[in-house]
Amino acid sequence: MNSTGSSPTATAWSVVVGVPAEQPGEHRVSLMPESVRKLVTAGAEVLVESGAGALAYATDAEYTAAGARVVSRREVLADSILVTCVHPLQAAELHDGQILVGLLGRRSDTEAMSSYAERGVTVVSLDELPRKLSRAQAMDALTSQANLAGYKAVLVAATAYPSAFPLLMTAAGTLRPAMVLVLGAGVAGLQAIATAARLGAVVHGYDVRPEARGEIESLGARFLDLGITSSGSGGYARELATDETSRQQTGLAQAIGKYDVVITTAQVPGRTPPLLVTEEALAQLRPGSVVVDLASSGFGGNVAGSVPGQTIATAYGVTVVGAGELAGTIPAAASLVYSRNLVSVVEHLLADGRPAIDLDDPIQAAVVLTYDHRTVTPEDHDELQPVR
């Protein structure tokens, strides 16, 4: 259903959707052939840049069979009304009146949003989606990508770990199972816990939210209790006070030495993530231990010394993996679920088959960051804020 309550398929759509190739290094694509077929069936015209899906194992022939037209990048960006993407495009590539949909950043990215607004591009960023709103759950790209990242984090850790995860009985004797600690019990953390348990590890989970204990234990893991709790609004934790942060770091440093693998998942989009595993904590781990930091980014990470996209061997013999973009390393699966998220968003942006920005709709009020040559804030969306 779109924001007016009408069915998007009741009227033939009058929209041209563009699918450009992503920036170098990104293997995902914003729409897979399955989703293209759904849009075309509804009446949309879909333009796909040649080779856009190649790294996600979606060929130009498959897009053509799904009803898309495979064309050049110039044609995609010149002729599309609604452009889908994973990462932001350069504002200079777009033109007045276009709608750009993807993981495009947050309202705090004022310079980027001003560039789009001045260009006349309407930005719909799923980074700002109200994730607790039931109608928005099918659009929740952050959750779909975090789920896959949590799964892949365990595979990365298992590959780097110099022993085996499960208990193994051999003719030469028994190998004990790996001890795994997952810090953070959000979507990525819970998936990491479940995956590590399936691989036969002994798993513990930690989170400051008291309700997380039941979620961790429901997956067969044990809860690491440091005596620190923090409940915030909407199911999220509030930021810890300075003394609480210090107690948490000290508690983790004291507890961490018995684990072989540590996976950290405490991301704070657009901000510096909390430092959970300090240099002191790393020194408590045995040589051969592995730490995978899913929060590693340009803003920092959960682990002292982690570097985005790099694997580092510390002086203690501990391997630290900076793994902030793991979903992109499973491009076929990540693109498939992401494209389904985007189809739900596109449906919501249409009224009578045409793009219709409605800032009185709670979902659009959250995700529309620029409109009509102006930036938009949720507090004053009835009176748009001019670009400064």
| Average pLDDT rounded to a whole number, residues 192-197 | 98
Residues 291-321 have pLDDT tens digits of 999 999 989 999 999 999 999 999 999 999 9
Render pLDDT for 60-104 as a digit per residue (tens, 0 to 9): 999 999 999 999 999 999 999 999 999 999 999 999 999 999 999
Q: Tokens 């799904």 identify what position?
A: 66
pLDDT in tens, 127-183: 999 988 889 999 999 999 999 999 999 999 999 999 999 999 999 999 999 999 999
Which pLDDT score is estimated for 232?
A: 55
CA-based nearest residue to 104, from 87, 119, 121: 87
Phi and psi at 343, nearest 5°, equal: -60, -40
Share of the chain above pLDDT 70, in %: 92
Domain boundaries, the chain: 16-140+331-376, 148-329
Dump pLDDT digits (tens) for 237-267: 667 878 888 999 999 999 999 999 999 999 8
H or E segment and range at residue 84: strand 82-84
Kindly calculate the radius of gyration of the chain based on its CA atoms and give it in whole angstroms: 23
* Cβ–Cβ < 8 Å for 292, 264: yes
Question: Which strands form 374-375's sheet, in the order they lie side by side?
Answer: 69-71, 45-49, 16-19, 82-84, 99-102, 122-125, 368-371, 374-375, 385-386
CATH class of 148-329: alpha beta
Burial classification of residue 173, based on how many CB atoms lie within 10 Å of its CB (0-12 exposed, 13-18 middle, 19 or more buried)? exposed
Residue 2 has pLDDT above 70, yes or no: no
Residue 134: count of CB within 10 angstroms of its CB: 7
Q: What is the pTM of this model?
A: 0.90
Residue 256: the pLDDT is 96
Instruction: Determine what percent of the chain falls in helix, strand and coil, rounding each to the nearest 5.
Output: 35, 20, 45
DSSP 95-125: -TT-EEEES---TT-HHHHHHHHHHTPEEEE
pLDDT band at 379 (very low <50, low <70, confident <90, very high): low
CATH ID of 16-140+331-376, from 3.50.50.60, 3.40.50.720, 3.40.50.10190, 3.40.50.10880: 3.40.50.720
Tell me if 16-140+331-376 shares its fold with 148-329: yes
Contact assessment for residue 177 and residue 166, using Cβ atoms and an 8 Å cutoff: yes
